[in-house]
Chains A and B, each alone.
Chain A
Amino acid sequence: MTNESYQCIMAQRPEIMQASIGIDYSRYAAGAIAFDYEQLLDDSGYSIEVVREIQSRTAVGNTPLIELNNITQLIRAVSIPGHGARVFVKDEAANPSGSFKDRRASLPVYEAKQRGYSGVVAATSGNYGAAVASQAAKAGLQCIVVQEAFDSKGIAQPEIAEKTCACEAYGAEVMRLSVGPELFYVFLLTLKQTGYYNASLYSPYAILGIETLGYELALQTRQLTGRFPDVVIATHAGGGNVTGTARGLRKAGAVDTQIIAASVDLSGLHMASDRDFNRKSFTTGHTGFAMPFTTWPDRADVPRNAARALRYLDRFVTVTQGEVFYITEVLAALEGLQRGPAGNTSLAAAFAIAQELDEEQIVVVQETEYTGAGKHPIAQLNMARQMGIEVTRGDPHGNKPGVKIVIPEHPTQLHAAEVDLNQMRRSYIHHAIQALPDNQVLSEIDMEFLAAETRTNNAYVENVIHEIHRTS
Chain B
Amino acid sequence: MTEPVKPGTWVEIYHVILDAGERAPQLPEDTRHLPLEMRMKGWLVETASLNEAAEVKTPSGRLMRGTLVAINPAYTHGFGGPIPELTPIGSEVRALLRNKGLFT
Contacts and interface: CB of A to CB of B under 8 A. Distances in A.
A54 to B, nearest CB: 24
A143 interface: yes
Nearest to B99: A77
B28 interface: yes
B3 interface: no
B31 A273 contact: yes
Interface string A264-304: 00000010111100000000000000000000000000000
A164 B74 CA distance: 12
B77 A158 contact: yes
A29 B85 CA distance: 53
A274 B31 contact: yes
A176 interface: yes
Interface in B60-78: 60-62, 75-78
Contacts of B23: 6, 180, 182
A5 B26 CA distance: 17
Contacts of A100: none
Classify the secondary structure of B's interface with A.
loop
A333 B90 contact: yes
Nearest to A374: B77
Interface residues of B, number: 47
A165 B30 CA distance: 29
Contacts of A411: 93, 96
A72 B58 CA distance: 49
A5 B22 contact: yes
Given A119-B60, A168-B59, A150 B89 contact: no
A73 B104 contact: yes
Contacts of A185: 17-18, 24
B65 to A, nearest CB: 13
A396 interface: no
Contacts of B89: 326, 329-330, 333, 407
Nearest to A411: B93
B4 interface: no
B75 to A, nearest CB: 5
A179 B31 contact: yes
A377 interface: yes
B36 A178 contact: yes
12 contacts: A73-B102, A77-B96, A149-B39, A173-B41, A174-B40, A179-B34, A182-B18, A185-B17, A274-B30, A330-B93, A378-B82, A379-B78
Given A73-B102, A172-B60, 10 more contacts: A69-B104, A142-B61, A161-B77, A174-B41, A175-B40, A182-B17, A182-B23, A275-B30, A334-B97, A411-B96
Interface of A: 5-6, 69-70, 73-74, 76-77, 119, 142-144, 149-150, 152, 156, 158, 161-162, 164-165, 168, 171-182, 185-186, 193-194, 270, 272-275, 325-326, 329-330, 332-334, 373-374, 376-379, 381-382, 391-393, 407, 410-411
